[in-house]
Amino acid sequence: MFVPKKQQRRDVLVEAPVELHVVRKHPHTVATGLPAVLHSMQAGLKGEGPLRMVRTMLKINQRDGFDCPSCAWGDPEGRRHTAEFCENGAKAMADDATRKKVGANFFARHSVAQLSRQSDYWLNAQGRLTQPLVLLPGSHHYEPISWDEAFHLVAADLNSLNSPFEAVFYVSGKAVNESAFLFQLFARMLGTNNLPDCSNMCHESSGAALGETLGVGKSTVTLADLENADGIIVMGQNPGTNHPRMLTSLQKAKRNGATMISINPLREAGLLNFRQPQEPLGLLGVATKLSDHFLQVRINGDLALLKGFAKALLEREERMPGSVLDRAFIEQYAAGFEAYAADLRVVSWDEIVASSGIAKGRIFEIAEVLAKAKGVVACWAMGLTQHKNAVPTIRELVNVMLLRGNVGRPRAGLLCVRGHSNVQGDRTMGVWEKMDDAFLDRLGKEFDFSPPREHGLDTVGTIQAMLEGRVKTFISLGGNFLSAAPDTHRVAEGLRNCGLTVSIATKLNRSHLVTGDTALILPCLSRTERDEQASGLQFATVEDTVSAISASRGLLRAASPNLRSEAAIVAGLAGATLRGKHPLDWSALVANYDQIRDHVSRVVDGFENFNERVRSGEPFYAPVEAKVRKFPTKTGRANFTVNAITKLDVRPGELVMMTLRTHDQFNTVVYGLDDRYRGIYGGRRVIFLNLDDVAERGLRDGQLVDITSRFGEQLRTVERFRIVGYDIPRGCAATYYPETNPLVQLESHADISGTPASKSVIIKIVSSARTSLAALQR
C-alpha cells in the first residue's frame, strides 16, 4: 500500500521516553580506585561471563590485541600493564563482546514505533545485530535482507540520484583506518566530498584554530611530554569520566614534580584526586592529589581567563624585561606578536574578571606558575570546542603557550584530547568535506580518477541540506547521527526527508528508528572479533590522540556468521555501485588489508612503508610538523592572533547551560543509568544548578522543571528535568546529552568551524507544566 512520505511512521518517538526515578548522593572527590575495578568486573561479567571477560581484558590495548573501542587516549610506549584499560574501556569492551543478540524474530515482535518508546539504554542493551535488515516504505517492521540485495538496493539508489552531491557519507570516530580510507574513496569515486564526521561535532574547532596558528590540526606532544612537563593546564574536560587512562599520565607527571592547573565550571572528581587501581595503595584508598590550582571558570569564560594569563605574563615581562617571555622563540619562529601585545595592553582587567568569574589575584597567581615552569602542556576537550567563540578561545590558548615557547620542544606543547577512539585517524585517512588539493591529487593518481574538488557538507550543512531536500541518501559508517547531532527534531525531519538511510552498525540505536522512506541496517564486526577474509586473519589500524598509529587484532568469534567487517561492507557497497564505471577490484582490497595499507602509504603523508612499520611491534607517529618547530602556515611561522572577549546574549532570568556525559555512557551510547562521581543514580533527566539561582527563581532543589533554550528569538523546550543543587558558578547550568540536544539550535554553532555550541546554550527554567497540572488534578 502506498503511504505518502509525510505520513510514514510519524508515531516513532524522536526523543527517549521520560524517566523520573533519580536517587541522589554526595558527589565524589576522588576518581577510580577499587570501585572502578569492581564496576569494570561487573560490566564484564554481566555482558560476557567470567572466562570470556578475562580473555578479552587481557588483550585490550595490548600489542597483540585489539584497540579499546572507547576513547582515543594513547598507549604507553614502553612496558604496558597487564590490565591496560579503564572502567569505561571495560564497559565498551563488554558492550561490544556481549553474548546478547537481536535478530529477525526480535524485529518481527517489535515495530519501530514500539522500539522508539524504549530508552536509549534499553535499545543498546538488547545486544548485537546479527543480519542485514531493511525497513521498506510504509512498513513498520525491519525485515531480513541478503547482503547482495542490500548492496544492489543502495547501488540502485545512488545511481538514480540527479547528482552525487545528493548523497552524504557520514563517519563515526570508531571506524578503523582501513574502512575509513575505503569509505572516502567510495564517496569521491561516486563524485562527492559530502563526508561529514563526528569531528565536526567535537574537535573541529581545535583543528581550525591549530591549523591557522601552527599549520597542523593535531596535538603537538607525546605522552612522555605530558608525563615529564613542569606545568600542566587541563581545561574544559573531565578526565575521570571521558578518558580515565589520562589520570595515570597525570599521576606520573605529578610524581615527577608537575604543577597541575585545572579550569572547569564543575569541580569534577577526576580533576581533584586519583586512586591508581594498578597499585596496592590505590586499591586500599590512598589517592594522589592532582590539581594544585582549581579555577571554577564561568561557562564560556575561558577566552577571557586565558587573555588574563597572557596579560599578566606580559605585565611581568615589562616590569622585569627578559625574565618571562621566550624572546628568542618569538623572534625566530612566531609572527604577529606586536599586534597581540598591543591588544593585551588595552584590554581591561575589569572585563577579564567579569567574563571569566576569576579574581585578578588568582589570575596573577597562575601566571606566576606558568612563568616559572620550564615546560608546560595544555590539554583541552569539548568544554572549549563547543562554543560560538570556540576557535578564538583555542587560538588564545595557543597564544599563551607561544609566549614562553611551549610549542615544538620536549615536555611542552598542546594536547587536544580526542574522544572517539579513531576520530583523528578517520580524518588522516581523508574523511573530511574539504581535504586539500595535494591529498586529492595523490588519491586521483593512485586510483586513476578525478576526485571532485567542490567542498562538501559538514554535519550542520548536511542537516540543513536534508531539511531543504538537497540530500536524498544518507549512509553512516557507525554512529548515532540522530542523537549525536544538535536540534534533534530538525535532524529527525531531515532524515525523514531522505529516500534512503543506511547504517553500518554493531548495535541498535535511535537513528535506526527515525529514518528515510527506506532504511537499511548493515551489521558489522566489532573490534573484539576476528576478521577473517580470503587471505586469512586480518588486522586493522587506528590513530590515537597523540598521533600514534597502532594495530588492532580481534580475538573472539563473530557474534553471527552473517556479520561482515566494516571494510567488507564498504567494499560491497562500492563494488555494486561503481561496477562498470571504474575497474578497481574492491573485493581484492578486502581479501587482504595489506593492499589497502599499500594504497594508503602512497596517498597519505607520513605513511610510507605503512605495512612494515605497523608490524614492527611499536606504534609509529603520523607527522606533526609543529613538534619540530616547522609551521606550515601562511606566514611560515607560528601565528599570534588577536581574539576579542565576546559576551553571550544572556537576558534577565536566563542561564548558560552546557551539556555533558554521565560516567555510565560514552558519547551517545548509554551503558547504565548512574553517574556516581556526581552522585546521580537511576536516571538521566537532571539539571545541575547553583542553589542561589534556584532560590532566586522561586524553585526548590529536587523539583521537576521544563527547560527552554533561546537562540536569537528561536525557542526549544524539553520537559521534566529534576533540579540538582550543585557546585557550579552562578548563572550556569549543566545537563546530560543526548537528552538536551533538542535545545541546541542548528544555527547555534562555532564561527569558522561550524561545531554545535552545545556548551553555551542560553536557557530559562520553569516549574514543569505537566507536573503542575498533575498536582492540580490530584
Whether the predicted pLDDT of 306 surpasses 80: yes
Are residues 50 and 114 both part of a single domain? no
565-600, pLDDT tens digit by residue?
A: 999 999 999 999 999 888 899 999 999 999 999 999
In a domain, 9, yes or no: no
Closest CA to 150 of 698, 520, 577, 645: 520
List, for residues 107-121, the tens digit of each pLDDT value.
999 999 999 999 999
Task: Say how many domains are in the chain.
Answer: 4
**Residue 388, SS3?**
coil
List the grid coordinates of 719. 520537559
Shared-domain flag, residues 60 and 172: no
- Shared-domain flag, residues 402 and 429: no
Name the amino acid, one letter, at 241.
T
CA torsion, ordered 29, 31, 34, 35, to nearest 10 deg = 80
- For 374-429, the pLDDT digits (tens) are 999 999 999 999 999 999 999 999 999 999 999 999 999 999 999 888 999 999 99
Return phi, psi of residue 254, to 5°. Answer: -60, -40
H or E stretch at 231: strand 231-235
Please check whether residues 150 and 297 belong to one and the same domain: no
Residue-wise pLDDT for 159-172, tens only, equals 999 999 999 999 99
How many Å apart are CA 479 and CA 245, to the nearest integer? 23
Q: Do residues 55 and 159 touch, judged by C-beta distance below 8 A?
A: no
Contact 663, 244 (CB under 8 A): no
Residue 415 pairs in a beta bridge with 379
Are 544 and 607 part of one and the same domain? yes
What are the start-end ranges of the E strands in 336-442? 376-380, 413-416
Q: Which residue has the higher pLDDT, 751 or 241?
A: 751
In sequence order, what are the beta bridge partners of 24?
A: 680
Do the beta carbons of residue 329 and residue 266 sit within 8 Å?
A: no
Task: Please tell me whether residues 358 and 221 are part of one structural domain.
Answer: yes
> Do both 332 and 392 map to the same domain?
yes
Which residues make beta-bridge pairs with 695? Answer: none
Q: Which of 416, 446, 477 represents a domain boundary (last residue)? A: 416
Task: State whether 347 and 493 are in the same domain.
Answer: no
Would you say residue 430 has pLDDT above 80? yes
What is the chain's length?
Answer: 778
Question: What pairs with residue 235 in β-bridges?
Answer: 263, 380
Regarding whether 679 and 751 lie in a shared domain, the answer is: yes
Q: Are residues 715 and 667 part of one domain?
A: yes
Q: Is the pLDDT of residue 771 over 90?
A: no
Percent of the chain topping pLDDT 90: 83
Q: Is residue 16 part of a domain?
A: no
Would you state the pLDDT for residue 770?
Answer: 66
Residue 110: which domain range?
Answer: 101-194+422-615
Domain end among 416, 440, 467: 416
Give the domain CATH number at 709. Answer: 2.40.40.20
Tell me the pLDDT tens digit for each residue of 682-722: 999 999 999 999 999 999 999 999 999 999 999 999 999 99
Q: Looking at residue 580, what is its pLDDT?
A: 85
Q: What is the mean pLDDT of residues 27-40?
A: 87
Question: Average pLDDT of the chain?
Answer: 93
- Domain endpoint, select from 96, 115, 131: 96
Bridge-based pairing state of the strands 334-335 and 293-295? unpaired
> What pLDDT is stored for residue 99 in this prediction?
92
What pTM value is reported for the model?
0.95
CATH code (residue 181): 3.40.50.740
Does the pLDDT of residue 79 top 80, yes or no? no
Query: Is residue 677 very low, low, confident or very high in pLDDT (cuts 50, 70, 90)?
Result: very high
Best-predicted range by mean pLDDT among 36-45, 61-70, 370-379? Answer: 370-379
